[in-house]
Structure 1
Amino acid sequence: MFGITALIMFGVVAWGGLGTDSLSSASGAALDWLLTNTGWGFVLAATGFVIFALYLAFSRYGRIPLGQDDEGPEFRTVSWIAMMFSAGMGIGLMFFGVSEPLSHFVSPPPGTVPGESEAAITVAMSTSLFHWTLHPWAIYAVAGLAIAYSSFRRGRKQTISGVFVPLIGKRNAEGPLGKLIDILALFATLFGSAASLGIGTLQIRSGMQAAGWPIGEAGTDILVAIIAVLTVCFIVSAVSGVARGIQWLSNINMVLAALLAVFVFVLGPTVFILDLLPTAIGSYMSQFGEMASRAGATGGSEMQSWLASWTIFYWAWWISWTPFVGMFIARISRGRTIRQFIGGVLMVPSVVSLVWFAIFGGAAIHTQKGGTDVYAGGSAEAQTFALFENLPLPLVTAVLVMVLVAIFFVSGADAASIVMGALSQRGAIEPSRWVVIFWGAATGAVAAVMLVIGGGKDKALEGIQNLTFLGALPFAIVMVLMCVAMLKDLRTDPMTLRDQKGAEVLEQAVIVGTEEHDGEFQLVTTPAENEEAAPAESDVATPPAENDEAGIAADEGGGDGSADVAAQADKKE
């Protein structure tokens, strides 16, 4: 499995180095085909994962722990949230926190509202929240939950293929079919991580230019140099392990990000930002159905192009990140119940994203409305620094943004390296260092290829998008099947079976007691006569009530303990 994926990676890197134009043309053609023929699938799958995650949280399965019945959480809640958020999308919020709401305000989705109007403010915020709240985290939650349950509750290897045991059997899951599933996960993780590294590199380059560093036009040479430095940093962090490197970096970044947000909130348009919070929530809820149903059926090529640049790109990006984010969240979530897991993974990051976009997007929109053209400040990554030029201490904030982007990427990429190492070594919790180092270097190499085929300048993001889609499509199919496998697992969970047995035994006992004793009876447990005995006849006895006082009693019968709880109750006189 390691060898096959490594060969694919070397092939892509060699193709990008020796035939840049050829790879660019091929990836562009593949993107066009995917958008035309499979874009609808990404749209349906993303919303389906939201519904599935919420169903599990509110269903009877929500009480099931991700571990043994008496286990407690491995990490403190604050550290758990910090690591989850940093690995999941911290670098993306730094890149798109200003540019996305501003872009939708100036140029709203086709067929909605006029640009830079009052109505465009609500559309801009609702569209940004649609891309960054429930949908992406539901995608992560489904994968992470499936892996955590399979590994910690069922005792299987911590791999994607281990989740599929109830569907394809243990032999197939550990055989060629299971290896194919893990190869698809490795492939998606590699390209998703490389996409994030490319995006972070673009923003660091813009920060260096905003800070006045003498880097000129900063072509591909500078971008590759930035990639090399970041790659070395996250490899060093990755080999130090989760408990040291990733947890430490995540906690630092959470504090720095909070300080930056407070800085913009206090020195920016504070009242406008506060007014924007309820407006954003209301517009997101009211426009949810319309946004979730946008596809290429209407709007023609303009809508198709917009979806490719925004919604479908995001869904593909989130799905390509899912193997490593899902495995990483699973790795740090042992001991939590399904309801706690989904509640934490869905709601906490969604609330943080809401506040983040209200602060940074609101400040950018307010500045744009005030007559300062932040949108014209350059590409998406440059607009963040264009906003800070209108606030105090622009040089300090520019450096802080670069530090945040670098640490966000390092904390996310080292998690990805560890996960790819684990997948390469059959789900090892602590993969070999040389494997982690190899995948870290591979991520940097693929990121460099992505930027090179995009030209390193205005079209760099286009090259990132093209290759991200290629890694996401096959794994989207894997994720749908993962939901089916997990649901089948949950139906046979020991806690589920105990609940079902208890309900069946109690129901049969009440029926028998009512028929034989005219409603005046008590329930007690007795040993089962044999393994085939029916619950109503042998598992529970229903003798007549001994007195007229209503009471509750429980006998701890021997045998197989087929009734966990017994109660006695009879009519008061």
Structure 2
Amino acid sequence: MRKISPVFFISITLAILFILWGAFLPNNLEKVSTATQTFLQEKFGWFYLITASAILLFAIFLAFSKYGHVKLGKDDDEPEYSTFSWFAMLFSAGMGIGLVFWSIAEPISHFYIPPYHIGNHPEAAETALRFSYFHWGLHPWGIYAVIALALAFFKFRKEAPGTISAIFYPLLGDRINGPIGKIIDTIAVFATVFGVATSLGLGAIQINGGFHFLNENIPNGFIAQLIIIVAVTILFMLSVISGLGRGIKWLSNANIVLAILLMLFFLFMGPTTFLLNLFTTSLGNYVEYLPRMSFRLSPFDQENSEWIQGWTIFYWAWWIAWSPFVGTFIARVSKGRTIREFVFGVLAVPTLFCALWFSIFGGTGIHIEMFGEGGIWEAMNFGENTEIALFATLQHLPLSTIATIVSIILIASFFVTSADSATFVIGMQTTNGMLNPPLHVKIIWGLVQAAAAAVLLWSGGLNALQTASIVSAFPFVFILIFIMISLHKGLKDEQIIKKNRKVF
């Protein structure tokens, strides 16, 4: 118990209080959290947009700066994992469940209810893909890259503890070991718990939707989703016990292979040429419109402003809430890589993969709506049941039942990997940065995450999951801003020390 930080007890207490609140007063929790969410979206949407873009620009600056050659580790350290395994693990941890959940639901939603243009129109189709790229592309991975860089730099090069507070040593000195450091780490853990709970909730909703789609006798509601959470929790506990090198690595490799196979199935069973043309066109549109989308809030159009708040601001808050989890995990598996290699890898490869993913999945759905039989939007209950979109689209392709089963397995596998990775990360943050947290700590956090996801579903379903992300992310935005400042100062100080050594 000596290795367990006070952050563990503070965080676990706050999380349990939240779970009890949601379990016994679900309506009150929904009311308070929704009011908080509305306030943050309306008053601080501009702050989320500016901060996310600033973080992305900072990551790109580091890659092209004089610091690009700096290794995340000692000068003679080599990468611990192969490039394929590295990409698979960071991708599985970073976007897994959400990417499957929104693969068709988001483009179809934007197609019928676009931020501008008329719905169900070719221009709306182009806009739908462009904004899907935007929400899942460079900005979220820029956020992950910066926090992961900071953690890896201070952990592997400076031999600091692997905690968020340790990043602030250049600014705070030994005060990181006091109350300020504990507050920083507690905020990071709280954001992680509810950011991951959002993703786990999405996974449970979609797995339930898939089973219901296969057999209408299986109910689509909270009880079924709770059973799914319990079942998958048992699975990821088994993965936790097996450890990082075996459980997460094997599952991550399996996830990426299964995801690619499913994507190829859509590509070759669907309108192949159309999808490849769509990918090329949409990628060009994304690059062309990226600056405009990055700062777009539409202050003169209330309806359009609400669209941005419901989609872009939600995503930016979700990625920020996920960033301590994904950042810590990516840092843990990135030892031995240079800053330039790291930034290019974390930004370019996942962004291109996400663009191809949405073009193939979302493009297939849009093609069916525009040129085929249609019916996906109706099956989604006009945007109310987004978890159905993937399965409603598969119904229009050959071997739909087999593909639906494979999709459910992929979602469950991503569920296990995300939960497994998160227990590992939260365990690190609450044991003073231990690279291999005690098993009992990881199990406790695994149960807390599952309980938080269940409570959020109980108190408001998908809306409650989105609300939790936005609310839990807000305090961490300020931490991210100071992480950039502290990382730059740490890199600058290292350059000064090197120059002084050469002089003497």
Q: Which TM-score tier does this pair reach, normalised by the shorter chain?
A: over 0.9
Q: Relative to 1, partners in 2 of residues 1:121 and 1:296: Cα closer, same or farther, differing over 3 Å? A: closer
Q: Deviations over 1:125-170 (max 9, x none)?
A: 110000011000000000000000010011100000000000011x
Aligned-partner residue type, residue 397 of structure 2: L
1:436 matches 2:442: yes
Q: Structure 2: any 5+ residue segments left out of the alignment?
A: 1-6
Residue of structure 1 equivalent to 2:133: 129
Q: Deviations over 1:307-363 (max 9, x none)?
A: 232101101111111111000000000000000000100011011101101110110
Query: Where do 1:18-417 residues align within 5 Å?
Result: 18-109=24-115, 112-169=116-173, 171-212=174-215, 214-216=217-219, 218-295=220-297, 297-300=299-302, 302-370=303-371, 371-378=373-380, 379-417=385-423
Q: Deviations over 1:185-243 (max 9, x none)?
A: 00000001100000001100110011116213x22111111111111211221232211
2:78 counterpart SS class: coil
In terms of fraction of residues, the more helix-rich structure is 2
Residue of structure 1 equivalent to 2:503: 562
Aligned-partner residue type, residue 380 of structure 1: T
Counterpart CA distance in 2 for 1:395 and 1:345 is 35
Residue of structure 1 equivalent to 2:479: 478
Counterpart CA distance in 2 for 1:286 and 1:464 is 32
Answer yes or no: is the 8 Å Cα contact 1:40–1:296 preserved in 2. Answer: no
Q: Deviations over 1:380-426 (max 9, x none)?
A: 11011000000011111111111100111111111110111111111
Q: Relative to 1, partners in 2 of residues 1:561 and 1:327: Cα closer, same or farther, differing over 3 Å? A: closer
Counterpart CA distance in 2 for 1:431 and 1:486 is 25
Counterpart CA distance in 2 for 1:412 and 1:493 is 34
Shift in Å, 1:276: 0.6
Answer yes or no: is the 8 Å Cα contact 2:42–2:309 preserved in 1. Answer: no
Answer yes or no: is the 8 Å Cα contact 1:261–1:359 preserved in 2. Answer: yes
Residue of structure 1 equivalent to 2:15: 9
1:310 counterpart SS class: helix
Shift in Å, 1:122: 1.5
**TM-score of the two chains, using structure 1 as the length reference:** 0.84
Q: Structure 1: any 5+ residue segments left out of the alignment?
A: 455-459, 502-559, 564-573
Counterpart CA distance in 2 for 1:452 and 1:303 is 30
* Aligned residue-pair number: 493
Counterpart CA distance in 2 for 1:262 and 1:239 is 33
Q: Deviations over 1:465-515 (max 9, x none)?
A: 111112100011101100000000000115x654x56xxxxxxxxxxxxxx
Counterpart CA distance in 2 for 1:561 and 1:35 is 51
1:307 counterpart SS class: helix
Q: Which moved more, 1:339-348 or 1:287-296?
A: 287-296
Q: Relative to 1, partners in 2 of residues 1:209 and 1:69: Cα closer, same or farther, differing over 3 Å? A: same
Shift in Å, 1:24: 0.8
Aligned-partner residue type, residue 177 of structure 2: E
Counterpart CA distance in 1 for 2:322 and 2:396 is 34
Shift in Å, 1:59: 0.5
**TM-score of the two chains, using structure 2 as the length reference:** 0.96
Counterpart CA distance in 2 for 1:346 and 1:334 is 17
Counterpart CA distance in 2 for 1:174 and 1:74 is 29
2:126 counterpart SS class: helix
Counterpart CA distance in 2 for 1:175 and 1:234 is 34
Counterpart CA distance in 1 for 2:317 and 2:218 is 33
Larger radius of gyration: 1
Q: Which moved more, 1:142-151 or 1:406-415?
A: 406-415
Counterpart CA distance in 1 for 2:231 and 2:178 is 38
Counterpart CA distance in 1 for 2:184 and 2:304 is 33
Aligned-partner residue type, residue 175 of structure 1: G
2:74 counterpart SS class: coil
Q: Deviations over 1:36-87 (max 9, x none)?
A: 2211111111111110000000000000000111111111101000001000
Aligned-partner residue type, residue 209 of structure 2: S
